[in-house]
Amino acid sequence: MAVSQSEPQLPQTSNPASLAKPGGHYSHVAIANGFAFVSGQLPIDAQGQKLADASFEVQAEQVLANVRHALESAGSSVAQLVQVRVYISDIDNWPSFNQIYARWAGEARPARAVVPVPQLHYGFKIEVEATGLI
């Protein structure tokens, strides 16, 4: 008896107008099997302005706004987050980030990692990637 094989489903992608055009060969969001995978978001506003000289708090708020826009473009939301990965260039900013994140996430309590890294692209202080349900 022959086994039927269906064509593999390709992921969909999303690059919402509320985010700057991707600067490399990637999409802001890949959508597959009921999940929205948000690429690492940097503190860049919708017009493409890099906020590298801004305070950590301003950068964190911009990055989290970008994550929210990316999730919503895929039909997801902060409430549907499964996992969040945060990369910060100075671990001393962790308490500040945690306060900003708690306000942003509200009642959502996804799995999360906060990882100190030696440096980020363009001298940014923070990058966040996430996975949410659709």
| pLDDT per position as a tens digit, 62-116 | 999 999 999 999 999 999 999 999 999 999 999 999 999 999 999 999 999 999 9
Which structural domains are found in the chain, ordered by start? 27-133 (3.30.1330.40)
CA distance 78 to 115: 20
Q: How confident is the model at residue 4, as a pLDDT?
A: 53
Reported as a pLDDT band with limits 50, 70 and 90, residue 5 is: low
Q: How confident is the model at residue 76, as a pLDDT?
A: 98
Read off the pTM: 0.92
Q: How confident is the model at residue 8, as a pLDDT?
A: 73
CA distance 126 to 40: 10
